[in-house]
């Protein structure tokens, strides 16, 4: 087998998650790693067991590298994705695709022009029961969708001493909680329901208007505490918490809440979709169970089991029922579909995976949510 050779750019929290998932695909080889300096790239490559290390410009010159994973801070996504496409590489980019709509639109057009495989890492679609909800809705089992209630709650920025580059608009953009985790929620909403969000009404809250930025390096999610003299006070302009009312193209409504300051909620995305026939409820912290609500008979619990889900869902499940699968498996299942396309050498006509066009769509919704919060008014998408 001639393996597809991959280069991964960035080694923060998500880069190693990509690497671990890629190593579970038999036709893929993580051949190279890139960091901001050659020295750091070598150090990280050695730690992760990757043979070759480069700066970004050097990586693009490697003819045998067919695909590039962009796992860097947000402000680099546009320039690095563009450079990789122009170098003839297939691109898998972390979300958000870019910092603004014009950059995202350019990437969508360039990707279409090259015909190269392009994907955005909306991996949460790949929880098997998320696809099961989509499949059941497509088969008419949910009925007309009356409402969507969603939340995505975390606590990793709970303290004023919690700090990360995502708090700095020049690196992550003008929105934080919505752009970071709300984008996943809006993507999976439209993916499962098939609805389009046509208007939004948003209200943001910055709980910690000043945070203490560490003067020493602290890794994301590490929970390490420094001494008082090791911090500098920094004003915060992006949201810790947001509520958004939604209007859909079928005339019905929804609401989402996102928060990065909810104590005890580590990474909890919760969905409740109510239709004219049933209600679906699912939570990412217990991803192998789906609640199905009924009016005139007993409610049901569907467990993630390849023998119980719809036939078109089974490809997202590797293990038998009772053998739980979770967050790391979502990236593996997504990359499985992406690399099937890369093996064919071009973007499919109807991709099953999230593409640059999906990245543009979520950026559009996030920008309209940001606009709504500033105006304190409904904004049409």
39-78 pLDDT tens trace? 999 999 999 999 999 999 999 999 999 999 999 999 999 9
Task: Kindly report the three-state secondary structure assignment for every residue of 203-235.
Answer: EEECCCCEEEEECCCCCCCCCCCCCHHHEEEEE
How is the chain split into domains, by residue range?
A: 4-116, 124-327+359-380
Query: What tokens were used for 86?
Result: 């122009």
Handedness of CA 128, 130, 133, 135 (dihedral sign): negative
pLDDT at 227: 73
What is the C-alpha to C-alpha distance for residues 180 and 174, in angstroms, rounded to an integer?
Answer: 11
CA angle 354, 99, 67 (to 5 degrees): 45
Classify strands 28-34 and 379-380 as parallel, antiparallel or unpaired: unpaired
Both tokens assigned to 30? 């993580």
Q: What is the pLDDT of residues 247-276, one digit of tens each?
A: 999 999 999 999 999 999 999 999 999 999
Rounded mean pLDDT, 181-203: 97
pTM confidence score: 0.93
Assess whether pLDDT exceeds 90 at residue 298. Answer: yes
Q: Is 338 helix (H, G, I), strand (E, B) or coil?
A: helix
**Measured distance CA(120)–CA(172) in Å, rounded:** 16
**Range 222-238 average pLDDT:** 79
Among 105, 113, 117, 107, CA closest to 342: 117
163-179 pLDDT, tens digit per residue, is 988 899 888 888 999 99
Say yes or no: domain 124-327+359-380 is CATH 3.30.1320.10.
Answer: no
CA 379 to CA 373: how far, in whole Å?
9
What the block records as the tokens of 19 is 């690497």
Give the CATH superfamily of 4-116. Answer: NAD(P)-binding Rossmann-like Domain (3.40.50.720)
Distance CA 355, CA 109 (A): 12
pLDDT at 220: 54
The three-state secondary structure class of 26 is coil
CA gap 195, 188 in Å, rounded: 11
Count other Cβ atoms within 10 Å, centred on residue 218.
Answer: 18
Supply φ then ψ for residue 184, to 5 degrees.
-60, -45
Q: Which two tokens stand for residue 355?
A: 């593409």
In the set 95, 99, 134, 212, the catalytic residue is 95
Mark whether 278 is an active-site residue. Answer: no
Higher pLDDT, 214 or 106: 106
Task: Answer for the pair 1, 29: CB distance below 8 angstroms, yes or no.
Answer: no
How many other C-beta atoms lie within 10 A of the C-beta of residue 1?
A: 6
Q: What is the mean pLDDT of the chain?
A: 95
Mean pLDDT of 271-298: 98
Whether 241 contacts 233, CB under 8 Å: no
**pLDDT tens, position by position, 118-158:** 999 999 999 999 999 999 999 999 999 999 999 999 999 99
């Amino acid at each position: 087998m001639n393996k597809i050779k991959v280069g991964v750019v960035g080694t923060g929290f998500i880069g190693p998650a990509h690497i671990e998932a890629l190593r579970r695909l038999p036709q893929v080889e993580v051949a190279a790693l890139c960091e901001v300096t050659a020295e750091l790239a070598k150090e990280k490559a050695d730690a992760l067991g990757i043979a070759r290390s480069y700066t970004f410009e050097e990586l693009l010159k490697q003819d045998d590298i067919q695909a590039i994973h962009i796992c860097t801070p947000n402000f680099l996504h546009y320039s690095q994705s563009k450079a990789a496409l122009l170098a003839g590489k297939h691109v898998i980019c972390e979300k958000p695709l870019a910092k603004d709509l014009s950059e995202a639109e350019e990437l969508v057009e360039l990707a279409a022009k090259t015909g190269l495989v392009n994907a955005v890492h909306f991996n949460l679609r790949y929880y098997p029961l998320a696809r099961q909800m989509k499949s059941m809705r497509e088969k008419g089992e949910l009925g007309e969708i009356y409402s969507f209630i969603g939340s995505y709650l975390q606590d990793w920025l709970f303290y004023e001493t919690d700090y990360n580059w995502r708090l700095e608009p020049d690196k992550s953009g003008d929105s934080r909680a919505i752009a970071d985790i709300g984008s996943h929620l809006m993507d999976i909403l439209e993916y499962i329901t098939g609805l389009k969000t046509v208007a939004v009404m948003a209200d943001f809250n910055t709980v910690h208007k000043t945070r203490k930025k560490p003067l020493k390096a602290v890794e994301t999610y590490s929970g390490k505490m420094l001494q008082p003299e090791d911090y500098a006070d920094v004003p915060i302009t992006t949201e810790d918490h947001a509520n958004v009312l939604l209007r859909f193209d079928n005339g019905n409504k929804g609401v989402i809440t996102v928060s990065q300051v909810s104590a005890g909620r580590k990474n909890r995305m919760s969905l409740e979709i109510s239709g004219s026939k049933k209600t679906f409820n699912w939570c990412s912290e217990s991803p192998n169970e789906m609640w199905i609500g009924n009016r005139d008979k007993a409610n049901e619990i569907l467990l993630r089991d390849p023998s119980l889900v719809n036939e078109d869902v089974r490809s997202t499940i590797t293990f038998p029922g009772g053998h739980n699968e979770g967050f790391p498996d979502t990236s593996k299942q997504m990359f499985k579909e992406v690399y099937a396309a890369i093996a064919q050498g071009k973007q499919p006509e109807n991709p099953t995976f999230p593409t640059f066009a999906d990245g543009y769509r979520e950026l559009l919704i996030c920008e309209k949510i940001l606009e709504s919060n500033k105006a304190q008014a409904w904004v049409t998408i």
